[in-house]
């Protein structure tokens, strides 16, 4: 049973990594293409879709994560009829909320466009894009249960195969509508069409995995809805912290500053968010695994998974965020080929240090939800939201764009500290030992490696020496090789991973012992 559990967990993690990496590459490819066709101002409107999707996405009451936990528990206990009740209740609840929210959207759309500072020449495009974007979001919400069933049954291999396959027609559609001159309207219609296909595929897969699955109005239960909402709302407040990080700031920048800075903020945060996804994907399989271990009452394996998962995440996250901080300007220029996007580089530099710890905390969030303690995430998330909103309004009026970034990063530190302290009390894990064993060594190695490269490069003006994309790609490639080599040399001397964690790398991931020793020391 233990062998089966490990193999399943590592399989899901491996497919999650592959799927996320592919989507990151897809985003890196499409963003400069879109900007080259529609310009930075229209790209700012495209970024605003995420803002509206974030706001209206709150209407799911955090039930997405609740679905996964309940489905995992019911399936482990062979309670298949309860899964049917959850699925039916979710679908028909989301249908009713979607209809209400679309009606509200029509009423507030014009005042919203004016509030966001969108000029008259772009009003009609923005209205079309916002309406189609929200229709896409509501469709995703209504049928999200079919995707959650795959996650709850811990079949991330299937979800990621589908996700990777969908990028091919999505990219083809994006190129087609841009080439034909349809601009923003074409982009959002293409996105809507891809969502329809994605939903249909997920419905078919869910029925294949769970032949007993039935979604019927007669299976709707108010008791099940109350249970889902009660559990989901606690998660939602925690999810709001990430929404606040990258969405409310766009609204404030658009209202108090201008669309150009919204576009630059989107570019900078997109780079930081994509880099954060690389390590965070390691934690994607943690929540359903934690729910299964909690259902079986196996606290020893749960604690071991939490500590080891956090260490693996820390090992990868620290150098990635350190690299972003050093080479932020070069990354933006090499990607977008525009040296004027200095505010995008500033966003990356200010976000990177805080995102390092925020990314590692994903394991803690997943475990807390998996073991049925979403209140831990709720309290930390609520503190984050309140502090971020207050600081954002004050600092953007006082310091402009840099003030917004400061107001984003400061609450991240508080969120991580509160989350870890509360969870560690529940798990009976020492927060002091967690800091020294999990966080300090990789962070120190990344800081030292960065300092060795940053100050000499800055003093000779290396980062501003070249203007072409090709030159900046060359600097980025060479800098990455030197930085990660220094990081590996430093981490090797720290004996960061224990014997159990090294065995996972060598036995389960197939890495030879000499490779593990070379990378991490003996």
Three-state SS annotation for 411-437: HHHHHHHHHHHHHHHHHCCCHHHHHHH
Average of per-residue pLDDT across 200-212: 89
Of residues 254 and 136, the one with the higher pLDDT is 136
Mean per-residue pLDDT for 15-36? 73
Tens of pLDDT, residue by residue over 37-56, are 888 778 877 777 766 665 66
Distance (Å, rounded) from C-alpha 390 to C-alpha 407?
A: 8
Residue 87 lies in a domain: yes
CA distances from 112 to 107, 255, 261, 502 (A): 10, 10, 18, 53
pLDDT at 512 over 60: no
Domain annotation covers residue 53: yes
pLDDT at residue 19, as a whole number: 67
pLDDT, the chain, mean:
79
User: Model confidence at 15, in pLDDT bands (50, 70, 90)?
Assistant: low
Asked if the structure places residue 396 within a domain, the reply is yes
Lowest mean pLDDT of 10-14, 296-300, 343-347, 458-462, name the range: 458-462
Alpha carbon of 466 to those of 28, 204, 332, 333, 347: distances in Å?
A: 22, 52, 13, 10, 22
- Both tokens assigned to 112: 């919203």
* Number of structural domains in the chain: 1
Q: Give residue 1's pLDDT.
A: 45
The predicted pLDDT at position 165 comes to 86
Average confidence (pLDDT) over 411-416: 88
Task: Give the pair of three-digit tokens for residue 404.
Answer: 């917004």
State the pLDDT confidence band at 497, using cuts at 50, 70 and 90: confident
Q: Which segment, 32-46, 180-194, 259-273, is predicted with the most confidence on average?
A: 180-194
Residue-range definition of the domain harbouring residue 253: 2-509
Instruction: Using a cut of 0.75, tell me whether the model's pTM lies above it.
Output: no
The distance of Cα 110 from the centroid of its chain, to the nearest Å, equals 30
Closest to 126 in 3D by CA, of 241, 48, 35: 48
**Four-point Cα dihedral 464, 465, 469, 470, nearest 10:** -150
pLDDT higher than 60, residue 265: yes
Closest CA to 33 of 312, 278, 260, 337: 337
Sign of CA dihedral 192, 194, 196, 202: negative
Query: Per residue in 147-171, pLDDT tens?
Result: 888 887 778 778 878 888 888 888 8
162: number of CA atoms within 13 Å, CB side?
20
Listed ranges 100-114, 236-250, 278-292, 501-515; the one with the highest mean pLDDT: 100-114
The Cα 131–Cα 127 span in angstroms is 6
Q: Which residues contact 515 (CB under 8 A, 6 or more apart)?
A: none
Q: Report the pLDDT value the prediction gives residue 518, as an integer from 0 to 100.
A: 55
Least confident of 12-26, 265-279, 465-479: 12-26
Task: Specify if 520 maps to a domain.
Answer: no
Please check the confidence at residue 338 and state whether its pLDDT lies above 70. no
> Is residue 319 a part of any domain in this protein?
yes
Q: Give the CA radius of gyration of the chain.
A: 23
Judged against a pLDDT cut of 60, whether residue 509 lies above it is answered with no
Does the pLDDT at position 139 exceed 80? Answer: yes
Note the helical H segments in 245-373: 249-256, 259-280, 286-296, 299-336, 342-360, 362-370
Residue 521 within any structural domain of the chain: no
Domain assignment present for residue 30? The answer is yes
Q: Is residue 473 part of a domain?
A: yes
């Amino acid at each position: 049973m233990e062998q089966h559990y490990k193999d399943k967990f590592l399989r899901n993690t491996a497919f999650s990594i592959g799927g996320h990496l592919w989507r990151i590459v897809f985003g890196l490819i499409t963003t400069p293409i879109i900007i080259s066709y529609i310009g930075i101002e229209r790209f700012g409107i495209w970024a605003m879709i995420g803002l509206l999707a974030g706001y209206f996405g709150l209407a799911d009451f955090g039930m997405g994560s609740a679905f996964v936990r309940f489905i995992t528990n019911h399936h482990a206990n062979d309670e298949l009829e309860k899964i049917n009740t959850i699925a039916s209740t979710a679908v028909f609840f989301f249908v009713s909320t979607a209809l209400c929210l679309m009606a509200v959207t029509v009423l507030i759309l014009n005042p919203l466009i004016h509030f966001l500072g969108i000029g008259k020449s772009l009003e009609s495009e923005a209205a079309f894009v916002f309406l189609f974007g929200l229709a896409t979001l509501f469709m995703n919400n209504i049928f999200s249960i079919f995707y959650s069933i795959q996650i709850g049954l811990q079949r991330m291999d299937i979800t990621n195969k589908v996700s990777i396959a969908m990028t091919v027609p999505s990219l083809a559609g994006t190129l087609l509508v841009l080439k034909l001159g349809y601009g923003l309207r074409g982009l959002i219609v293409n996105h809507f069409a891809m969502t329809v296909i994605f939903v249909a595929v997920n419905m078919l897969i869910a029925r294949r995995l769970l032949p007993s699955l039935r979604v019927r109005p007669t299976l709707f239960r108010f008791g099940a809805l109350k249970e889902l909402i009660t559990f989901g709302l606690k998660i939602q407040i925690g999810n709001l912290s990430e929404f606040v990080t990258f969405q409310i700031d766009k609204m404030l920048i658009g209202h108090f500053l201008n669309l150009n800075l919204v576009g630059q903020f989107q570019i900078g945060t997109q780079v930081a968010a994509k880099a954060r996804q690389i390590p965070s994907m390691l934690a994607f399989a943690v929540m359903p695994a934690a729910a299964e271990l909690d259902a079986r009452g196996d606290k020893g394996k749960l604690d071991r998974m939490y500590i080891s998962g956090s260490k693996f995440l820390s090992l990868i996250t620290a150098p990635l965020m350190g690299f972003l901080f050093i080479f932020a300007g070069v990354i933006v220029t090499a990607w977008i080929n525009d040296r004027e996007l200095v505010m995008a580089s500033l966003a990356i530099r200010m976000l990177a240090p805080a995102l390092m710890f925020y990314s590692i905390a994903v394991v803690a969030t997943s475990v807390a939800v998996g073991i049925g303690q979403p209140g831990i995430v709720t309290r930390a998330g609520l503190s984050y939201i309140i502090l971020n909103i207050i600081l954002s309004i004050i600092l953007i009026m006082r310091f402009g764009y840099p003030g917004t970034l400061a107001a984003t990063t400061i609450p991240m530190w508080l969120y991580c500290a509160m989350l870890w302290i509360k969870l560690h009390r529940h798990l009976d894990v020492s927060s002091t030992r967690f800091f020294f064993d999990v966080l300090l060594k990789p962070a120190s190695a990344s800081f030292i490696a960065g300092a060795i490269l940053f100050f000499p490069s800055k003093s000779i003006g290396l980062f501003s020496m070249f203007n072409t994309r090709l030159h900046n790609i060359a600097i980025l490639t060479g800098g990455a090789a030197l930085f990660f080599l220094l990081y590996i040399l430093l981490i090797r001397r720290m004996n960061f991973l224990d014997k159990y964690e090294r065995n996972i790398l060598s036995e389960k991931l197939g890495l030879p012992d000499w490779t593990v020793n070379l990378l991490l020391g003996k």
